[in-house]
Amino acid sequence: MRIDVITLFPDIFQGYLSESMLKRAIDRGIVEIHLHNLRDWAPDKHKTVDDKPYGGGPGMILRVDRVVPCVEDVQAMCPDPGHLVMLTPQGRRLNQAIVEELARFSRLILLCGRYEGFDERVRLILRPDEISIGDYVLNGGEVAAMVVIDAVVRLVPGFLGDEASNREESFSGPDRLLEYPQYTRPREYRGFRVPEVLLSGNHQAVAQWRLQKRIETTRRRRAELLGGGWRAVWAEEPTSHGLSGESPPTLPGEKQAEQKELETPAENKSSVGDIQRPGASSHGIAGGFPARPPEDTSTAPGFSSEDRPADVS
């Protein structure tokens, strides 16, 4: 894949592009990244690229007669003109589905804005795919462009080496659930033990536990992701908060529970029922799809028994 970046600040990208993962991919010819300084398309002595807004107002606007020729020249550098992306807070908000869309193109051109934005005619003439990376304001599109590059290149075949790791990532795969919790050595730390099932060697039980954790975590933290097919699962279980059917943006109580976990891990032991005994199939999952959603965790939202410290007495 070839990615062209049009920016007034190409240097911002240098550190990121020489970072290990991306540098390796560039060195191996998996991705090509070309930086173009918009200022090089300013014909005047002072290399002006922006001007005051007509009608008044704060800030400076990127000039259409600088941006359009620049983009057209960059498009013409290859037989494939590529897919033009404009980084702007007014764009559609980036998510993994959009990242997957972008990764299907063999060439992307990322147009970074600065100052107060682009002259509206840039949009009207070039019809770019406008992308925002979230509901907050950045000083310019450069960091957003790096986010797009970082997310997209992971999907380019050969980038990760182990392509399977993509399917298991949060937001990926057909269900778009959050990731399951991961553990490595030591088996026990400050009273917190690695869940028994992960040590069992039972691959089916591990897969079942992980799917169950993904559903639980997604429901507690990002219930709005449980759309589509998962809505049926969600609807089956009214929560302790009386919410069912509709996915609430957040579940009250989780934050407190997480803090409690950090501050007083020992207390959790007595406050939480044994809702997930190792080996016990308390939340039956049949054929890879939950027959029954995870049990009510009303006594301590955000917890399962595995969040408790081990009995160290």
Binding residues for ligand 6GU, per CB under 6 A?
87-89, 132-134, 136-138, 140-141, 144
Nearer to ligand 6GU, 92 or 121 (CB): 92
89 or 302: CB nearest ligand 6GU: 89
Helix 203-221 to helix 229-236 angle, to the nearest 10 degrees? 80
My answer on whether omega of the bond before 186 falls inside 30° of 0, hence cis, is yes
Which helix (H) or strand (E) is 290 found in, with range? strand 289-290
d(CA 251, CA 72): 48
Give the pairing of strands 285-286 and 129-132.
unpaired
| Smallest distance, ligand 6GU to C-beta of residue 102, A | 13
| Distant-in-sequence, close-in-space partners of 120: CB < 8 Å, separation ≥ 6 | none
Smallest separation, CB 12 to ligand 6GU (Å): 13
Min CB(151)–ligand 6GU separation in Å: 13
| 1 CB neighbour count, 10 Å cutoff | 22
Task: Report the C-alpha gap between 6 and 3 in whole angstroms.
Answer: 10
Q: What are phi and psi of 25, to 5 degrees?
A: -65, -40
d(C-alpha 188, C-alpha 58), whole Å? 57
Phi-psi region of 76 (alpha: psi -120 to 50; beta: other; left: phi over 0): alpha
CA dist., res. 48 & res. 66, Å (int): 9
| C-beta closer to ligand 6GU: residue 137 or 262 | 137
Which residue lies nearer to ligand 6GU by CB, 93 or 187? 93
> Nearest distance from residue 189's CB to ligand 6GU, in Å?
38
Helix ranges, 104-202 (H): 120-126, 141-153, 164-167, 196-199
In total, the chain counts a number of residues equal to 313
Q: How far is the CB of 120 from ligand 6GU (least distance, A)?
A: 16
For the bound state, the minimum distance from the C-beta of residue 89 to ligand 6GU, rounded and expressed in Å, comes to 4
Nearer to ligand 6GU, 88 or 217 (CB): 88
Where are the alpha helices (H) located in 133-238, listed in sequence order?
141-153, 164-167, 196-199, 203-221, 229-236
Task: Tell me whether residue 82 or residue 117 sits nearer to ligand 6GU (CB atom).
Answer: 117
- Rounded to whole angstroms, the Cα distance separating 131 from 55 reads 26
| Contact (Cβ atoms closer than 8 angstroms) between residue 157 and residue 239 | no
Least distance to ligand 6GU from the beta carbon of 38, Å?
A: 15
Q: How far is the CB of 172 from ligand 6GU (least distance, A)?
A: 22
- The residue (of 62 and 285) whose beta carbon lies closer to ligand 6GU is 62
Closest to ligand 6GU by CB, 82 vs 89, is 89
Could you tell me the smallest distance in angstroms from the CB atom of residue 103 to ligand 6GU? 18
| C-beta closer to ligand 6GU: residue 105 or 180 | 105
